[in-house]
Structure 1
Amino acid sequence: METMIKVENLGKSFKDIQVISNISFEVRKGEIMAILGPNGAGKSTTIRNIMGIMYPDEGTITFKSTNNNEIPRHKIGYLPEERGLYKNVKVMDILLYLAELKDYPLDKAKERALSYLKKFDLEGKEKVSVEELSKGMGQKVQFIASIIHEPELLILDEPFSGLDPVSQELFKKEIRNLAENGTAILLSSHQMNLVEEMADRLFMIHRGQKVIYGSMDDVKTQYANFKCTIHGKNERQTLESIADVQRVEQVDDTSVLYLSKDVEPAPWLKSLPEHLLIQELSIDRVSLHEIFIDIATDKNLLQEAGEMHA
């Protein structure tokens, strides 16, 4: 799969503070690549370096294997976390203006704008000023603005923030469509359930350094152990005595058993004591949300499998 953008050994400091160090990853054509990390981890700095808003002290950013360090801005779409459209400008005017800044043909931009406005339930809003739109509508318009010029690389910073469930589904569907049609997508979000659902690969950064890099399947298989959730009133001591249970968390009559690395679920389930009270039982991998919390809070409760590379 073609590499759309490659980040190698990126480093950036502000005064005497190292914000990111030795950051390396790539985003491939037609994939959704998630960049994750707690606030202050260095995600925004990394994105701003890719966008050319700031420049790294160390390392390189290469677009489509070219030797030119200048990233072609008309090939990139960007939805920033901080939304910012001209409020007193009409929707169609702002979309065409932004398309023109990307050297995109205006007749084609107008056609695409009308199509997307219809797709996002904004048909008939092209002559409405941005300030008259609801927050969700405004976010849809800004999303359209980020893709109006058919970018080869699309950077989405918290695209789902503030959206209702229906609008989230619209965005998810369109992001998948874009990826299926060859757009490389770099997605930054704190909504781990959506990232886990959508991303092909992920890069997690903490304190300016890489902590996880790999496909979603690799991360879930290599980093995340299994957990077993049991609904039923059982003594913690009894659950903790079960083989291969590393720790137990209980809330009311629900117990979550975190299992040792490399436990095979089927034979382990057969070994459960017969006297356990089980009204309902489920077993699955530890979620991406739990992995994120474990790393971001330095709890180190989950067993790591070392370096992962896609």
Structure 2
Amino acid sequence: METKLTVDHLGKAFKDKQAISDVSFDVRKGEIMAILGPNGAGKSTTIRNIMGIMYPDSGTISFSGHETIPRHRIGYLPEERGLYQNVKVMDILLYLADLKDYPLQKARERAHQYLKMFDLEGQENSSIEELSKGMAQKVQFISAIIHEPELLILDEPFSGLDPVSQELFKEEIRNLAENGTAILLSSHQMNLVEEMCDRLFMMHQGERIIYGDIDDVKKRYANFKCTLHGKNDREQLESLPQVERVDQNGDTSVLYLMQDVQPVNWLKQLPEQLNLLELSLDRISLHEIFLDIAAGRVSPEKEGAVHA
């Protein structure tokens, strides 16, 4: 698969603080690549270096093998939304498309298509300040994709959206990837990342901790967990075979199981005296994987990081 963006051994410091250190990953044509991590992990610094908003102290960034980044071929939805408030919707979309050297008539046609798609038809002559926050966010999203970018960088695209708008965004992001756009997506909403993305790059304290296919990451780090509803003694649950730890909240107990557990065989070992009103068994989520790593319960450096 063709590589669109390559970030190679990137480093950036602010005074005496190392914001990112030896960061390397790529984004391929037609894929949705997630960049994840808590606040302060270095995600925004990485993105700003890619966009040329700031420059790295070390390392290189290249687009299709060239170190010159063609801004007109990149779309960017920043976390801090920033459209001109007193400008009409159509005017701002055409203006931003023109900055990307995109044909005016084609931009107008695409603007009408997207305004209809996002339920903004008839708002062409409304100023941004007249729109709700969610409507303005839709316009900002359209402005990032109107020029048919080859690489699209989305920083918290779902923040503040209602569930219906989230679905519209998700559907269009998938459509863009299916049509060949390389997408780098940063989000704290790991359930959406898990649902949508092909690969992930997870950061912590400015460094890479996990990098690879979603499925490979899940297989390596996402052990099974069993959720029990019913009043049960914590010590009894902790003594069950192949249980690493138990979290309890009222009458709900979550049993985190060891790696390589065979679910069917493990369930057969449950004692008959357990109080079971409801039971579910599934793999832990990306969110829980990250919490385990951040808490030191899992150490990719010791076990061997997942690579693309």
Range into which the TM-score falls when normalised by the shorter chain:
over 0.9
Letter in 2 for 1:104: Y
Q: Structure 1 residue 57 and structure 2 residue 57: aligned? A: yes
Q: How is 1:192-271 mapped onto 2 (pairs within 5 angstroms)?
A: 192-271=190-269
- Quick one: structure 1 residues 17 and 303, their matched pair in 2 at CA, closer, same or farther if it must change by over 3 Å? closer
Distance in 1 of aligned mates of 2:241 and 2:299:
17
Q: 2:102 aligns with which of 101, 104, 110?
A: 104
Please state how far the C-alpha of 1:19 moved relative to its aligned partner.
1.0
Q: Structure 1 residue 120 and structure 2 residue 94: aligned? A: no
Paired residues of 1:11 and 1:20 also in contact (CA < 8 A) = yes
Please state how far the C-alpha of 1:303 moved relative to its aligned partner.
6.6
Distance in 1 of aligned mates of 2:195 and 2:164:
16
Q: 2:167 aligns with which of 159, 166, 169?
A: 169
Distance in 2 of aligned mates of 1:130 and 1:309:
43
Q: Deviations over 1:44-82 (max 9, x none)?
A: 11001110111111111111123xx22000010000000
The DSSP-based 3-state class of the residue aligned with 2:203 is strand
Please state how far the C-alpha of 1:36 moved relative to its aligned partner.
0.6
Please state how far the C-alpha of 1:292 moved relative to its aligned partner.
2.3
Distance in 1 of aligned mates of 2:85 and 2:216:
44
- Mean CA deviation greater in 134-143 or 189-198: 189-198
- Mean CA deviation greater in 195-204 or 102-111: 195-204
The DSSP-based 3-state class of the residue aligned with 2:65 is coil
- Mean CA deviation greater in 143-152 or 34-43: 34-43
Q: Deviations over 1:62-103 (max 9, x none)?
A: 11123xx22000010000000000111100000000000000
Q: Structure 1 residue 301 and structure 2 residue 297: aligned? A: yes
How many residues are aligned here? 306
Match of 2:87 in 1: 89
Distance in 1 of aligned mates of 2:2 and 2:76:
21
The DSSP-based 3-state class of the residue aligned with 2:306 is coil
Distance in 2 of aligned mates of 1:243 and 1:301:
19
Please state how far the C-alpha of 1:294 moved relative to its aligned partner.
2.9
Distance in 1 of aligned mates of 2:71 and 2:112:
24
Which ranges in structure 2 are unaligned for 5 or more consecutive residues?
none
Match of 2:181 in 1: 183
Q: Structure 1 residue 72 and structure 2 residue 61: aligned? A: no
- Mean CA deviation greater in 262-271 or 135-144: 262-271
Distance in 1 of aligned mates of 2:61 and 2:22:
12
Q: 1:148 aligns with which of 120, 123, 146?
A: 146
Structure 1 runs of 4+ with >4 Å offset:
302-305
Distance in 2 of aligned mates of 1:172 and 1:258:
31
The DSSP-based 3-state class of the residue aligned with 1:190 is coil
Q: Percent of aligned positions with the same letter in both sequences?
A: 75
Distance in 2 of aligned mates of 1:244 and 1:209:
32
Letter in 2 for 1:300: G
Please state how far the C-alpha of 1:197 moved relative to its aligned partner.
0.9
Match of 1:43 in 2: 43
Letter in 2 for 1:288: L
Match of 1:15 in 2: 15
Distance in 2 of aligned mates of 1:239 and 1:41:
35
Please state how far the C-alpha of 1:266 moved relative to its aligned partner.
1.3
Could you tell me the TM-score, scaled by structure 2's length?
Answer: 0.97
The DSSP-based 3-state class of the residue aligned with 2:68 is coil
Distance in 1 of aligned mates of 2:62 and 2:205:
24
Please state how far the C-alpha of 1:282 moved relative to its aligned partner.
0.9
Paired residues of 1:77 and 1:153 also in contact (CA < 8 A) = yes
Paired residues of 1:19 and 1:208 also in contact (CA < 8 A) = yes
Q: Deviations over 1:120-150 (max 9, x none)?
A: 0000111111110000000000000000000
Which ranges in structure 1 are unaligned for 5 or more consecutive residues?
none
Match of 1:3 in 2: 3
Could you tell me the TM-score, scaled by structure 1's length?
Answer: 0.96
